[in-house]
């Protein structure tokens, strides 16, 4: 019987070796937390069918430790089960555990409660930051160590940080991460991954650790940068096979033949590579991040990424072109029983009930404060905070929200008076002494559209940082209501509102008479909010900005019989209706190619 130790990938000179032979890694990225666990095997089997020999995944700290010290590795977060499924298909596993992962996730995958430590040095050898990382890695190691190759598993490689060369230059930090993993019993091949530029490789790499690259084109040219370093195999840890979308911009459409051509180039070079993404998935629970370049660019709910396997798990033209190329170049033909799922457009639905936000919050005890509390201090990572206070109008006035970097709906006495924030022209709400005179109840619903996930602006706390100005004077004494992305209590639904200026939860009843199919829901009657299918938050809707229109609904979220769909509407609507489609659709104007 083969010695298990020979299965460990090792480095000798400029080559990887496995089982005594030169080995090339042909991997694909799949994020377990962006795919329902019932679908993991299907996606991994399709990767195997394409001819890949490894799967790479990030580990999202912000999901596993949403509240400090409380860890969750169950259901969609069962990393151990995901690794075991990959092993059952004879796929090696590459783990990228952070602590920072980017991955277009909120705060780059770090938990937002870190921001409650005001002076914390993120992504550095800061003692507070490293204490929190150590606690997290300690729990993570309990899952990884038994699954290392040396222990009979298939975990071959662990990444140290992620694209650190694009952020900082703390060499002690990187060395501390390596030492921490070794102390925890993780004895495997470590690597860093950075852009193909000298300063990025120097700042991001560390002695004794494999340097890998991240890029989306020109493998031959980019690998030239690695020749500065001895004993360095050519490994692209992120070959961008597509790209992500952001709200307010046209959709990115990638040439399906490009990955095929560059796969051929990788193989000619004898290089190893990881398609990022091979299957992108969905930002369930509003976990998307944001980039900042003079203004915020928030990633969409769909993380389809124009990848070889679509958000819905379908094998695309890109998939088949890669499969054909790998079969031609490796001489290995694989024919497994894989197929795309049936899609169905269910009938349109009108809302059957409504629960106004103020009624939903009626039994809650608010957190009271003189000035608005931050999301982080209220324990809200993904979702909303509703700020409420009383104020007086006795003259013509303008109301402004200070320090708002996301999106807010302003209500007065329960009725929507304005929407401010990213992508919107409205920046003041006006009051008339004649029409508005007297005591009023203000409500400000702020939506976290995603903390920055890349670049120097990582410290990105959410909320009404500067408060509310009325007639250039601050309003004081707030009631703060935290609203996480999950529905933590069931709304009590009643009659539909008589006017279109109310915000709250709309209920829809979908009756399915046979086994359910995958579908795409289009909240055609709504402007902004999020959607729940049988209790699962499938993501945010944003019909006021391109490019995404439909939200993917996996058949695993549906059931034969009655299904409850809830739309949380932040803007008010006079047409509470949803439609369904058998395919996703987007804004089409001015498509961009990458």
Catalytically active residues are 163, 238
How far apart, in Å, are the Cα atoms of 263 and each of 183, 213, 270?
A: 38, 15, 11
Helix-helix angle 40-50:79-88, to 10 degrees: 40
Q: From CA 266, how far away is CA 327, in angstroms rounded? A: 14
Q: What is the H or E stretch that residue 275 is in? A: strand 272-279
- Find the length of the chain: 594
Q: From CA 504, how far away is CA 357, in angstroms rounded? A: 4
Indicate the Cα dihedral angle 583, 309, 551, 110, nearest 10°: -170
Nearest CA-CA partner of 190 in 162, 160, 165: 160
How far apart, in Å, are the Cα atoms of 402 and each of 345, 425, 471?
A: 43, 15, 13
Q: How many CB atoms lie within 10 A of CB 90?
A: 9
DSSP-derived 3-state class of residue 373: coil
* Pair of tokens at residue 410: 């302003």
In 100-229, which ranges are E strands? Answer: 155-159, 189-195, 210-215
Q: From CA 134, how far away is CA 111, in angstroms rounded? A: 14
Which one-letter DSSP state was computed for residue 518? B
Do residues 76 and 36 lie in contact, with contact meaning Cβ atoms separated by under 8 Å? yes
The angle formed by the CA atoms of residues 82, 83 and 85, to the nearest 5 degrees, is 65
Nearest CA-CA partner of 566 in 499, 492, 473: 492
DSSP-derived 3-state class of residue 376: helix
102: left (phi over 0), alpha (psi -120 to 50) or beta: left
Residues facing residue 467 across a β-bridge: 402
Which position has the token pair 């709309």? 506
Do residues 398 and 429 lie in contact, with contact meaning Cβ atoms separated by under 8 Å? yes
Which position has the token pair 């031959």? 220
Do residues 96 and 33 lie in contact, with contact meaning Cβ atoms separated by under 8 Å? no
The angle formed by the CA atoms of residues 333, 337 and 340, to the nearest 5 degrees, is 110
Q: From CA 89, how far away is CA 20, in angstroms rounded? A: 22
Residues facing residue 96 across a β-bridge: 58
Do residues 338 and 495 lie in contact, with contact meaning Cβ atoms separated by under 8 Å? no
* Pair of tokens at residue 173: 């930090």
């Amino acid at each position: 019987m083969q010695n298990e130790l020979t299965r460990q990938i090792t480095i000798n000179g400029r080559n990887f070796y496995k089982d005594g032979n030169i080995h090339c890694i042909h991997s694909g990225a799949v994020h377990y937390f962006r795919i329902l666990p019932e679908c993991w095997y299907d996606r991994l089997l399709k990767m195997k069918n394409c001819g890949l020999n490894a799967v790479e995944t990030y580990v999202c700290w912000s999901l596993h430790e949403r509240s400090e010290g409380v860890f969750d590795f169950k259901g969609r977060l069962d990393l151990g089960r995901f690794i075991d499924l990959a092993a059952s298909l004879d796929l090696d596993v590459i783990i990228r555990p952070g602590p920072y992962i980017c991955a277009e996730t909120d705060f780059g995958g770090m938990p937002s409660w870190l921001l409650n430590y005001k002076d914390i040095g993120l992504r550095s050898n800061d003692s507070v930051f490293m204490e929190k990382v150590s606690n997290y890695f300690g729990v993570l190691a309990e899952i990884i160590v038994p699954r290392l190759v040396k222990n009979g598993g298939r975990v071959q490689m662990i990444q140290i940080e992620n694209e650190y060369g694009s952020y900082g230059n703390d060499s002690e930090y990187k060395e501390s991460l390596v030492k921490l993993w070794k102390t925890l019993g993780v004895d495997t091949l470590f690597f860093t991954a950075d852009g193909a530029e000298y300063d990025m490789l120097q700042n991001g790499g560390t002695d004794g650790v494999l340097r890998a690259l991240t890029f989306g084109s020109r493998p031959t040219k980019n690998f030239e940068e690695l020749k500065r370093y001895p004993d360095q195999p050519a490994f692209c840890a992120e070959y961008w096979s597509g790209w992500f979308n952001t709200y307010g911009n046209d959709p990115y459409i990638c040439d399906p033949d490009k990955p095929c051509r560059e796969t051929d180039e990788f193989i000619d070079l004898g290089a190893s590579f990881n398609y990022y993404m091979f299957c992108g998935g969905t930002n369930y629970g509003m976990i998307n991040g944001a980039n900042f370049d003079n203004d915020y660019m928030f990633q969409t709910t769909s993380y389809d990424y124009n990848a070889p396997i679509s958000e819905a798990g379908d094998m695309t033209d890109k998939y088949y072109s890669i499969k054909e190329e790998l079969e031609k170049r490796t001489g290995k033909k694989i024919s497994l029983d894989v197929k795309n799922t049936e899609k169905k457009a269910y009938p349109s639905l009108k809302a059957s009930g409504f629960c106004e936000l103020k009624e939903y919050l009626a039994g809650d005890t608010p957190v009271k404060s003189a000035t608005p509390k931050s999301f982080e201090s209220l324990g809200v990572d993904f979702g909303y905070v509703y700020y409420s206070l009383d104020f007086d109008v006795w003259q013509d006035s303008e109301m402004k929200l200070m320090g708002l970097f996301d999106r807010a709906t302003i209500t007065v006495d329960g009725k929507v008076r304005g929407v401010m924030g990213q992508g919107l022209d409205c920046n003041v709400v006006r009051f008339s002494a004649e029409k508005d005179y007297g005591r009023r109840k203000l409500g400000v619903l702020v939506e976290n559209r995603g903390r920055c996930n890349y670049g120097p602006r990582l410290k990105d706390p959410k909320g009404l940082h500067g408060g509310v100005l009325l007639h250039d004077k601050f309003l004081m004494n707030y009631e703060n209501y935290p609203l996480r992305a999950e529905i933590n209590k069931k709304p009590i639904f009643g009659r539909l509102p008589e006017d279109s200026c109310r915000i709250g939860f709309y209920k829809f009843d979908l009756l399915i008479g046979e086994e359910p199919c995958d579908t795409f829901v289009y909240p055609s009657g709504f402007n902004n909010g999020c959607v729940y299918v049988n209790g699962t938050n499938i993501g945010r809707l944003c019909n006021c900005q391109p490019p995404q229109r439909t939200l993917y609904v996996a058949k695993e979220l549906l059931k034969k019989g009655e299904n409850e769909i809830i739309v949380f509407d932040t803007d008010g609507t006079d047409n509470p209706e949803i439609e369904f489609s058998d395919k996703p659709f987007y804004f089409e104007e001015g498509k961009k190619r990458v």
